Amino acid sequence: MPESVFLLGRTVRLEPLAERHIEALAAASAEDRSSYAFTPVPHGVEATARYVADALAAQQAGHALPFATLRASDGLVVGSTRFLNLDYWQGPVIWPPAPRGPVGDPLSAIPDAAEIGATWLSSRAQGTGINTEAKLLMLRHAFETWGVRRVSMRADARNARSRAAIERLGAVLEGVHRAHTRGLDGLVRGTAFYSILDEEWPGARAQLERRVEAPRVVAAETRPLISA
């Protein structure tokens, strides 16, 4: 299980998700839910408590590393994100290939591949640059601290704004799994899968760093949907 970490940026602070974040997360998700059509976001304190409990159980099993997303300027909780589907390639080769848990001591295991997902922000935090810098911090940690070979991301194939946001990170579209699962609206949906490989990271990092450092002038009506 990868060690919990704090990831600090200019506009955002990612800190290990904990029960103490429940009420603040519930407040953040209640602001304006109109951008959550494609993303499961808890609604209310009770649902948020279950959300946090499930995330922490996945972390304990070595499959995820969840964060609370805080605005750096005042420490306001504005959402959540996580590493998930952590995959470990150490040990004997297994066939057919399948995601595997940590081999050996789970407390010291380091993943070889990871996915970034379960990302959502409150309406006030969307379009402020917080999501972009959070992704930079997470990708930097995955590639430069863990040394992973691949970071994956996915989105409902219908979610054009979320897919565009992922592509702006430098991620490459691997394909769309057609009729992959059911969406939140109950309809069968496709899922667009993206990835960044370790050899692609230097270019993606330079692009992200330029975006984070550039002045941001974003009109409220053009805020991107960042949930994926």
- Rounded to whole angstroms, the Cα distance separating 68 from 6 reads 10
Q: Is residue 183 part of a domain?
A: yes
What pairing do the DSSP bridges indicate for beta strands 188-197 and 150-156? antiparallel
Cα–Cα distance, 6 to 59 (Å, whole number): 15
* 86 contacts 62 by C-beta, under 8 angstroms: yes
For the entire predicted model, the pTM comes to 0.89
- Position 104 in a domain: yes
The reported pLDDT for the residue numbered 105 is 67
For the chain, how many helices (H) and strands (E)?
Answer: 5, 8
Report the domain count for the chain: 1
Domain CATH for 67:
3.40.630.30
Q: What is the pLDDT of residues 29-54, one digit of tens each?
A: 999 999 998 989 999 999 999 999 99
pLDDT tens digits along 210-228: 999 876 544 333 344 444 4
Question: In terms of residue numbers, what domain contains 198?
Answer: 7-222
106-117 pLDDT, tens digit each: 666 789 999 999
What phi and psi, each to the nearest 5 degrees, are found at residue 69? -100, 120
